[in-house]
Amino acid sequence: MPEELAIAIVGCGGMADAHRRGYQMLWQSGYRKFHIAATCDIKLERAEAMADKVAEFQGKRPKAYKDFEEMLSAEKGLSAADICTPHRDHHALAIACFEAGLHVTIEKPLAITLRAGRKMIEAAKAHGKVLQVAENYKKAPSQRAIKWALKMGFIGKPRMLFWVDTFERLWYWDWREHKEIAGGGWTLDGGVHYADMMRYYIGEVDEVFAFSMRLMPVRYRKPETKEGAVEITVEDTTMALLKFQDGTPAQWTLTSAAPGRSYTMRIIYGEEGCIDLQEGLYGRNTRKTLEELTNEFMESITDEEREALFPMGITDTVAIELYEFIEGVLYGKPIETDGVEGYKSQAVCMAVYESAWLNSPVKVKDVEDGEVEGYQAELNAQLGL
């Protein structure tokens, strides 16, 4: 095992820059068990720009590539890849990395379909490599505090969960608007974060009944004047009922087609009160803001626990996930969201789509097992899966 990881950043768009900032934060905190050896993007100028930014903090400039295969062939010293590309490319790039002997951290969702995700998990296992899904939301101090509050029984046994996000988005979001590239709309792209958090708070989801709509068939390159209309092929609205394995029900609504007033409600109700994921704890006769709850949690944990959750005092969630990946590869430390965990969270999102496609409730286990994949069928066919 190398003493430090030589990492390639594959895909140098917006999310990759968040990863670059995470690496920079680790570097500037004195953690230097890695270096960025290469950057790669189909637009060479973006790979070059990323290499320049990396050079600013690590000194040595990584080599920039346009061709992924050329990079794998030329960079013999690579030990890991950080993949931040459109979802359609995830499985092909990750499997090629495993075959080349690299460990992989990859942006969520794991893959464009669950069938593609299974192939990634199988390849990682076959080659004995680490596969981490970059699932960072639950690593925030506030989210650790909410999990702690639930475990401590501050609101009693959870009774129900409401997760509602309604807003309007007129602007065109490039490849994310197209099913054949993204796999789905915000229910998958952002929803996989939310599904991961729901599983973190409550547990596994048993069954889903949902419907899905595309209420706004176009988005605009110039939203202010509604010019430059582009037809989209993903949904913009889903409404779902979820039943967790312990019987807890949830109502989950996401829409980007709601003009006027935006509305967000993310609340877990229990026997003795509720936790608003954005505001804090409400009991029958008590109230704690999220900041107070977070402070109380931080005071309750040991120095060792604090270091494990927030290494070197870092609370940036992307930096934490990258630290976890490096430590997992170098020393075999646990990966909180490995391929299997990322797969399970994605399966909840896919269950929403599959239920809507069937107009019937579906068992998440059946979606996980590939027994229900009507919505995903055309994507699998396009990719030869």
3-state secondary structure of 228: strand
CA 296 – CA 277 distance, rounded (Å):
16
HSE-up (13 A, CA, CB side) for residue 305: 10
Q: What are phi and psi of 218, to 5 degrees?
A: -130, 155
Q: What pLDDT was estimated at residue 291?
A: 98
109: cis peptide before it, omega within 30°? yes
Q: What is the mean pLDDT of the chain?
A: 98
Percent of the chain with pLDDT over 70: 99
How do residues 19-36 score in pLDDT, each as one tens digit? Answer: 999 999 999 999 999 999
pLDDT tens-digit map of 172-223: 999 999 999 999 999 999 999 999 999 999 999 999 999 999 999 999 999 9
User: Whose CA is closest to 311, among 329, 327, 297, 296?
Assistant: 327
Give the model's confidence band at 293: pLDDT under 50 very low, under 70 low, under 90 confident, else very high.
very high
* Tens-digit pLDDT profile for residues 234-272: 999 999 999 999 999 999 999 999 999 999 999 999 999
Tokens, residue 290: 């999220």
Domain range 5-137+314-336, CATH architecture: 3-Layer(aba) Sandwich (3.40)
Q: How confident is the model at residue 3 (pLDDT cuts 50, 70, 90)?
A: confident
The 10 Å Cβ neighbour count of residue 155 is: 20
Backbone dihedral angles phi then psi of residue 66, each to the nearest 5 degrees? -100, -30
Q: Percent of the chain at pLDDT above 90?
A: 99
List the Cα angle 148/313/278 in 5-degree steps: 40
pLDDT of residue 208: 99
Which pLDDT band holds residue 1 (cuts at 50, 70, 90)?
low
> What's the pLDDT at 297?
98
Q: Could you state, in order of their start, the residue ranges of all structural domains in the chain? A: 5-137+314-336, 138-310
What per-residue confidence (pLDDT) applies to 61? 98
108 has pLDDT over 80: yes
Stretch 82-93: mean pLDDT, rounded? 98
Which CATH number describes the domain made up of 138-310? 3.30.360.10
pLDDT at 144 over 80: yes
Long-range CB pairs of 235-238 (<8 Å, 24+ gap) are 235/184, 235/185, 235/187, 235/353, 235/356, 236/185, 236/186, 237/212, 237/213, 238/185, 238/187, 238/191, 238/210, 238/211, 238/212, 238/213, 238/352, 238/353, 238/356
Average pLDDT, integer, range 349-371: 99
Q: Give mean pLDDT, residues 145-159.
A: 98
Sorting pLDDT into bands at 50, 70 and 90, what band is 224?
Answer: very high
Angle, vertex CA 354, rays to CA 210 and CA 164, nearest 5: 35
Rounded mean pLDDT, 51-65: 98
